[in-house]
Structure 1
Amino acid sequence: MTTDRRTAPAADPVDLGRQGFGAMRLRPNGSADPDRDPSRIVDAVLDGGVRMIDTADAYRNEELVGRAIAHRREEVVLASKFGLVWHGAVAGGFDVRADAGYVRQACDASLRRLRVERIDLYYLHHRSDTVPVEETVHAMAGLLAEGKIGAIGLSNVTAEDLRRAHAVHPVAALQEQWSLSDRAVESTLVRTAAELGVPIVAHSPTGHGALHGAAGDDDHREGTAVLREIAAARAASVGQIALAWVHGRGPAHGVEVVPLPGTTRVSHARSNVAAAAIRLTDAELARLTDVWSPNAP
C-alpha cells in the first residue's frame, strides 16, 4: 500500500545539516603528517559547520571516532550502522545480521566503543534476505524508546523495504550511494523517499574519490571535460563541482539530499566543506546531468 506523504507520520527529528562527513576511512595516524591526523580532520569539518559524523561497526573505527568527537560531543549528530558481519578483513565477504536480538547486541557494543550514551542516527547497514525488515525496525524502535538511539535509518535497501519499514516506524534517513558516476538510486528509491518525506544521505558523492581527479576514460571522457570546464570557470576543483551537483539533486527530485563525502586529509576535508557553498546554475546542473546520464553515449 502506498503511504500518502501528506498524512505519513513524521520521523524523529534529527538535524542532518547541509552536508555530513563520512568517517569510513579514518584510521589512527601512522605518520607525523598533521594533515592526516583523524582528530584534526574531525575538528576541521566541525569548524566548517558540518554536524553529522557517520561511521559503522563494520568500519572498525568506532573507538577512534568516539575519541575524536569526545570534546565536542554536543556539536555532533553521531550516526552509526549495524548489520554487516565481515568474514575476515574489512571490505571482504560479509553476512547480514538483522534479527531483533542482534540489533540490541550491536547497539550496546557500538555505544561502548563510541563511549556515548546515545547514537543520534542508527542505520541498518544492509538489507537482509532472511529477516523481515519489519522485525528489524521494530527492534530499532525499542532502542529509540529506551533513549539508546535518536532516530532510525536504513542503508542499501530497496524501495519496497523502505515502504515496509516506514509503516512500522518513520525512517529519518536513507543512506545510499549517489554521484555523477553512480545514479542507481534515481530509478525508484528516490521517488519513494520523496513520497515518504525521507531525506537521502548520499554516500560516496565523488565516486569513492575518483571524481576528484576526473582523469577521464573511454566511458566518461566527455563528462570529465564538462566537469573541468565548469570547475575552471568557477575557480573550483572538479571534486567540488561533482559534490555540488549532488547537492543540486535535492530540488530536482523533491527530496532533501545530504551529501556525505569522506577523506583522510584535513586539506581535502576543508575543500569538501567549501563545496557545500557552491550553487550551480540550472544550466550547469543540466549539462552535468545530461553528459553523465547512464544513457549518454
Structure 2
Amino acid sequence: MTVEPLWNTDHPPRQGLGLMRLRDTGDADADRDPAAVVHAALDLGINVLDTAEMYGNEELVGRTIAGRRDEVTLCTKFGVRWVGSEDFSVHADAASVVASCEGSLRRLGVDTIDLYYLHHRSEDTPIEETVTAMADLIDAGKIRAIGLSNVTEEDVRRAHAVHPVFAVQEQWSLTSRSVEPMLPTLAERDVVLVAHSPTGHGVLHRSTGTSLGAALADIADAHGVAAGTVALAWIHEQGRRRGQRILPLPGTTSVNHLRANVSAADLHLDDAQFDRLTSADPT
C-alpha cells in the first residue's frame, strides 16, 4: 500500500507553521493579528499549517484559511483532552478517532483534513486499533494521510505495518535531541519527520551562558541574523546532510518572527559551524 503524496515530492515544503498559540485576542497590533500571520505564511510559501483538537483554536484556523483552502496542507491532531488545567488524558480508541475527526472537520469548516495525527500514544488502546480507524477515515475521504506524534520507535513500526504512516511529529532542537535514534526507522519507511519546537520553545532565541549559547551568538553574528534563526537553520541543515525528509515546524504569533523563521531555510551552515552547534553543551 502506498501513501498519496500531500505535496509535490520534487518541490517539498521547506517549513511549516505551528499554530498552537494562535489566538484572537482582539489586540490592535497588526503584527500579531492571527489572520495576518497565517496569510503572511501562505504568501511566503509556507502552506503546511498545524493545529490540534487540544489547542482549542480549530474554528479560528478554519476562519483564517477560508477562501485559501486550496493553498493549505491542513494538519490537525486528536486524542488528547485536558483534565483540568494541568493534566491531560488520551483517547485513541476507534470510536474516539471517528468522533474527534468529525468534530475537527466541523470546527475547521472543511471536508477533508490533509494530515491527521494521533497526538499522543495511548497506554490503553493498541496502536493497531487507532491506525485501523484512521485508515478507515482515509477510505471515507475524511482525511488524506496518517500522522503520529509523541510515540515510540516501536509504535511507528507497529502502526506502519497496519497502514503507511506519512509523518511523525516530535520535538527536535539543539536542546532536545531524543528523537535522533528514531531517524533511521523513519528513513527506512520514507516517513517525514516533522520537527516541532525547533527553537526549544523559544529558549534558543535568547542568549544563554552556555557553550551552545556562545556558539549560537557567534554564528548569528557571522551571518547577521538572530540566534533563533541559526538554531532553526541547524534543523534544515540536518535534513540536507542526512538526505532525509525533515520538515521544521516553528510556531509563532508574529508576522515579523515568521519572516525571520522563513529566512532560516536559506541559511547554510558550513561544516565548522554545523559541527560546533551539534557538539555544544546546552546546559
TM over 0.5: yes
Give TM class, smaller chain.
Answer: over 0.9
**Could you say which residue in structure 1 is the equivalent of 2:263?**
274
Q: Are 1:73 and 2:65 an aligned pair?
A: no
How far apart are 1:283 and its partner, in Å? Answer: 2.2
Give the distance between the partners of 2:33 and 2:192, measured in 1 at CA: 31
Q: How does 1:72-151 map to 2 (within 5 A)?
A: 72-89=68-85, 92-151=86-145
SS at match of 2:199: coil
**Could you say which residue in structure 2 is the equivalent of 1:192?**
185
SS at match of 2:247: strand
Give the distance between the partners of 1:119 and 1:283, measured in 2 at CA: 42
Moved more, 279-288 or 239-248: 279-288
* Aligned-residue RMSD, C-alpha: 1.3
Give the distance between the partners of 2:256 and 2:239, measured in 1 at CA: 27
Give the distance between the partners of 2:124 and 2:4, measured in 1 at CA: 27
Residue segments in structure 1 that go unaligned for 5+ positions in a row = 1-8
The one-letter amino acid paired with 1:18 is R
Q: Are 1:48 and 2:37 an aligned pair?
A: no
TM-score with structure 2 setting the length: 0.95
Q: Are 1:203 and 2:196 an aligned pair?
A: yes
The one-letter amino acid paired with 1:211 is L
The one-letter amino acid paired with 2:274 is L
Q: Are 1:21 and 2:10 an aligned pair?
A: no
Count of residues in correspondence between the two structures: 279
Q: Are 1:229 and 2:218 an aligned pair?
A: yes
Q: Determine if contact 1:12/1:170 at 8 Å carries over to the other structure.
A: no
The one-letter amino acid paired with 2:41 is V
The one-letter amino acid paired with 2:128 is E
**Could you say which residue in structure 1 is the equivalent of 2:273?**
284
Moved more, 99-108 or 266-275: 266-275
Consecutive aligned runs of 4 or more in structure 1 exceeding 3 Å deviation: 251-254
Q: Determine if contact 1:82/1:123 at 8 Å carries over to the other structure.
A: yes
Q: Determine if contact 1:230/1:241 at 8 Å carries over to the other structure.
A: yes
Residue segments in structure 2 that go unaligned for 5+ positions in a row = none
SS at match of 1:264: coil
How far apart are 1:210 and its partner, in Å? Answer: 1.0
Q: Determine if contact 1:194/1:254 at 8 Å carries over to the other structure.
A: no
TM-score with structure 1 setting the length: 0.91
Give the distance between the partners of 1:190 and 1:73, measured in 2 at CA: 31
The one-letter amino acid paired with 2:264 is A
Q: Determine if contact 1:104/1:139 at 8 Å carries over to the other structure.
A: yes
Q: Determine if contact 1:57/1:80 at 8 Å carries over to the other structure.
A: yes
How far apart are 1:269 and its partner, in Å? Answer: 0.9
How far apart are 1:61 and its partner, in Å? Answer: 0.3
How far apart are 1:254 and its partner, in Å? Answer: 4.2
Give the distance between the partners of 1:266 and 1:56, measured in 2 at CA: 21
